[in-house]
Structure 1
Amino acid sequence: MATTRVWDIFVRVFHWSLVASLVVAWLSGDDWKTLHLWAGYSAAALIAMRLVWGVIGTPHARFSQFVKSPLAVASYLKEIATGREARHLGHNPAGGAMIVALLATLIGLCLSGWLLTTDAFWGSEMMEDIHETLANLALVLVGLHVGGVLWASFRHHENLIRAMVTGRKRAPETGDVL
């Protein structure tokens, strides 16, 4: 089967490094504060680099390729519901919306976590509640993201998890969105 390179090495290393940072942050929680802080700082640094790469990176890494209007996302979701969604070589509109939601949530999570280390918010129950709410929202979004990846893998007969490891997807076919 012919394949084509879609995800560059930066996107793949970013993705799996962010996964690792989030898992470490979630597991360390309140028990290993230093490890939790460093996992959060790592996630923040990764996100900052991804924001830059989303502007200057390879074509499928650029936000301009996959961030679509709410109307386009809603239209794509309707196509999914009717089983008529097109296969996208890069991120589909729903996947692009998920990336935006995850990045926004994780930025808020990192920011609220950092604020908890400052004099102004040290011990602030309100900021702790915000941080915890954002952490729970991130977990929900990650679950939806994984579910969407599995669904798209099933619907389009390709292993998207493997593609995020190798960087390669099935070559474009008639009707695919490049």
Structure 2
Amino acid sequence: MPKPAKIDLRVSATADAQPSSQMVRVWDLVVRSFHWALALSFVTAWFTSHSSEVLHHLAGYAAAALVVMRLLWGVVGTPYARFSQFVCDPATVLRYLSAILSGREARYIGHNPAGGAMVVVLMAAMGSTALTGWLMTTDAYFGVSWVETAHSLSAHGLLVLVLFHIGGVALASFRHRENLVRAMITGRKRKAEPADIA
């Protein structure tokens, strides 16, 4: 009797795949709380940069604390929260981006390779913005032009990254027929289909 053919879980999702009605828990409460609290911190810091120094500083400190917490949770947290689950090498990320351009990218239950890269880059940019912002409040670096420039560039770069992140979420939601914003609220996503990557 011949052996059954092995299913390659890395095959791209097809457009006519029937979505499953069953849901699985993916994002834990820590990941979801971090995501929305960091978004709130960024929005607050952005809109108070010229109107409320106290709120601006508090939002920056909150963002820095959240990034540190997420770094720890990325090591000891639940499976889909761990960096080992979603941080890929650059070649894998580039292959995934190429697959997006050809409309053949696979659906991932956790972060896809591009999303995982964006998580790392966003946290690095947020950390850089918070660090340079804090330096501007110290006696040693208060009024130093290169620190102010670095803070401004970090903040504006972070805004660009956030816009790319929103665009990526919208594209993945459309391509894979699932509401990723809702998933980051409820923590649940449609379970893996045969062509998906769990």
TM-score bracket, shorter-length normalisation: over 0.9
Q: Which residue of 1 aligns with 2:46?
A: 26
The yes-or-no answer on 1:56 pairing with 2:76 is yes
**Aligned match of 1:170:** 190
Residues 27-176 of structure 1 aligned to structure 2 (within 5 Å): 27-176=47-196
Highest relative contact order (Cα 8 Å, sep 6+), 1 or 2? Answer: 2
Aligned identity (percent) is 56
Q: Bigger radius of gyration, 1 or 2? A: 2
Q: TM-score, normalised by structure 1?
A: 0.99
- Measured in 2, the distance between the counterparts of 1:78 and 1:125 equals 40
CA separation in 2, counterparts of 1:53 and 1:94? 20
Structure 1: which 5+ residue stretches go unaligned? none
C-alpha distance in structure 2 between counterparts of 1:108 and 1:15, whole Å: 18
Quote how far apart the aligned CAs of 1:123 are: 1.0
- Report the alpha carbon displacement of residue 124 of structure 1 after superposing the two structures with TM: 1.3
- The alignment yields a C-alpha RMSD, in angstroms, of 0.5
DSSP-derived class of the 2:174 partner: helix
Secondary structure of residue in 2 paired with 1:119: coil
Superposed displacement of residue 30, structure 1: 2.4
Matched to 2:161, the amino acid is: L
Aligned AA (1:44): A
Secondary structure of the residue that 1:4 maps to in structure 2? strand
- 3-state SS of the aligned residue for 1:103? helix
Amino acid at match of 1:177: I
CA separation in 2, counterparts of 1:30 and 1:132?
12
What residue is the counterpart of 2:37 in the other structure? 17
> Normalized per residue, which structure has more helix?
1
SS of residue in 2 equivalent to 1:153: helix
Question: Which position in structure 1 is the counterpart of 2:13?
Answer: none
Q: Distance in 2 between matches of 1:101 and 1:49?
A: 16
Query: 1:126 deviation in Å?
Result: 1.3
- CA distance in 2 between counterparts of 1:170 and 1:80 reads 20
Q: Would you say how many aligned residue pairs link Structure 1 and Structure 2?
A: 178
Question: 1:47 offset after TM fit, Å?
Answer: 0.6
Q: Secondary structure at the match of 2:138?
A: coil
**1:43-77 residue CA offsets vs partner (Å, 9 max, x unmatched):** 00011100000000000000001100000000001
**CA distance in structure 2 between the aligned counterparts of 1:104 and 1:39, rounded to whole angstroms:** 16
Give 5+ residue unaligned stretches, structure 2.
Answer: 1-20
